[in-house]
Amino acid sequence: MARGNAHILHIRKTRGLNAVERLVHRHVRRRRDLIAEVSSETHRSRSISLAAVARLRGNQSRTQSLVVTAESEAIQRLATSIEDRIGAASNASVLALRPDSDARREENRIAARPDVLVTTPTRLIDHIRRDSVDLSGVTTVAIDVPTGENIEQFSADLHFIYTKLGRRPVTVALVSDLGQEFDLLEDLLRHPTTVPNSGWATPESSLAPSPPQERTMQDLPFEPEKLKNLIGDITHAIHHDEDPIELTKVRKYVRKYTNVFNRGYILAYLLKQSLEGGGSRTPRRKQQSSDKQSPDRKSRDKQSSGEKQSSPDKQSVFVSIGRSKRVRSRDLITFFTSSGALTEGDLGQVKVLDNYSFVEVAADKAQAAIEELNGQELRGRKLTVNFARRK
């Protein structure tokens, strides 16, 4: 942005902005997303125009801000408001894309890469499919959210547009009904500040936004505590049981075949299937808190001290290496079967603790395995392999 226009914004920031504009300006400059409930049409137009220009930079040769509205009649009004906000001191350009205009003529104006685009979602999607618009440089998106039945289609169009952006923009969304419209836009925003209409109910001279309200979800199809424990259990498995190289390979293809906006839904679907299918493991944290005196807990305590409940044909073998050396159960299975004297069928339960591990070995082959493996190296460390002591 030209220096003269930056000076104008600085003066307006301290003298001419109302409470809604001050809030919008602060969030855009700090690169924080905002969704605010604003009923006044005048306040909405002024705030959206401010959001569009707050981060403009001069001589960028690319579209930097995107203003989206569902009302065709509002396009020219918003474009004019933005031009007034920019003023003659800046060479920034604004282009209004109206549904009733000739798309081919608009292509020539889009090719000049205006700094600000003001349009409806359907008109913008039309140009995206024509491959006539480049949105890779957009850093700010200001949304005038409609009400009524159009909101769901509007939201779907926005999700498609966001997949075409080169980066995650700062988003300012002004709504008429925060409770109804927030859910359809929530996944487009990053930890947004939400401000209800009550924040602007006082006279303009003393307008001040109320503290952001924490939203609570109701009528959930699952128990939040159960989901929390399941996520904790999965996180523990990722850090302690899984091979990070294998996970990285899978993660690469997840990123290849899905866009960033669908990954959250895919995770939610898998967790939902896990909760509904009953195939998930019993939450580890819940076990530890509720089964303090249970036989299973006592059994785990015995295992951690070396006293394992082996099957009659298996013998517990102590190995002096554990998770602290990035050893997993699969590593120990490979270590025990590397000599050829043992197969995976000769092994039973593998328990990997922080600094040591226990492996169940066929009783008739345990002595030979210990003699062969004791003193061998794993992860660059010479191991002690012996029968597990019993207390």
**pLDDT digits over 231-268, tens only?**
888 887 777 777 777 777 888 888 888 877 777 888 88
pLDDT attached to residue 68: 93
The segment with the largest mean pLDDT, out of 6-10, 27-31, 215-219, is 27-31
Q: Tens digit of pLDDT for each residue in 126-139?
A: 899 888 888 888 99
d(CA 119, CA 149): 20
Where do the CATH 3.30.70.330 domains begin and end in the chain? 294-387
- 294-387, superfamily in CATH? RRM (RNA recognition motif) domain (3.30.70.330)
Q: Is the pLDDT at 284 greater than 50, yes or no? A: no
d(CA 195, CA 233): 35
Of the listed ranges 91-95, 184-188, 308-312, 369-373, the least confidently predicted one is 308-312
- The answer for residues whose C-beta is within 8 angstroms of residue 122's C-beta and 6 or more apart is 99, 157
- 3-201, superfamily in CATH? P-loop containing nucleotide triphosphate hydrolases (3.40.50.300)
Angle subtended at Cα 117 by Cα 204 and Cα 69, rounded to the nearest 5 degrees: 55
d(CA 319, CA 205): 74
- How does residue 67 score in pLDDT terms, banded at 50, 70 and 90? very high
d(CA 335, CA 317): 13
Q: Tens digit of pLDDT for each residue in 153-175?
A: 888 888 888 888 877 899 998 88
d(CA 154, CA 121): 7
- Would the pTM count as exceeding 0.85? no
- How does residue 66 score in pLDDT terms, banded at 50, 70 and 90? very high
Cβ atoms of 386 and 370 closer than 8 Å: yes
pLDDT attached to residue 119: 93
- How does residue 26 score in pLDDT terms, banded at 50, 70 and 90? confident
Taking residues 52-62, what's their average pLDDT?
80
pLDDT attached to residue 305: 41
Where do the CATH 3.40.50.300 domains begin and end in the chain? 3-201
Cβ atoms of 17 and 46 closer than 8 Å: no
Whole-number percent of the chain with pLDDT over 90? 5
- The answer for residues whose C-beta is within 8 angstroms of residue 38's C-beta and 6 or more apart is 20, 44, 47, 174, 175, 176, 197, 200
Mean pLDDT of the chain: 77
Q: Which residues pair with 358 in a beta bridge?
A: 318, 351
Q: Tens digit of pLDDT for each residue in 361-377?
A: 988 888 888 888 888 88
Cβ atoms of 139 and 109 closer than 8 Å: no
Taking residues 11-35, what's their average pLDDT?
78
- How does residue 303 score in pLDDT terms, banded at 50, 70 and 90? very low
List strand residue ranges (DSSP E) for the chain, in order: 34-37, 65-69, 94-97, 116-119, 140-144, 170-175, 193-195, 314-319, 347-352, 357-362, 377-378, 381-382, 385-387
Q: Is the pLDDT at 72 greater than 50, yes or no? A: yes
Taking residues 325-341, what's their average pLDDT?
83
List strand residue ranges (DSSP E) for 227-310, in order: none
Q: Is the pLDDT at 217 greater than 60, yes or no? A: no
Whole-number percent of the chain with pLDDT over 70? 76
pLDDT attached to residue 298: 47
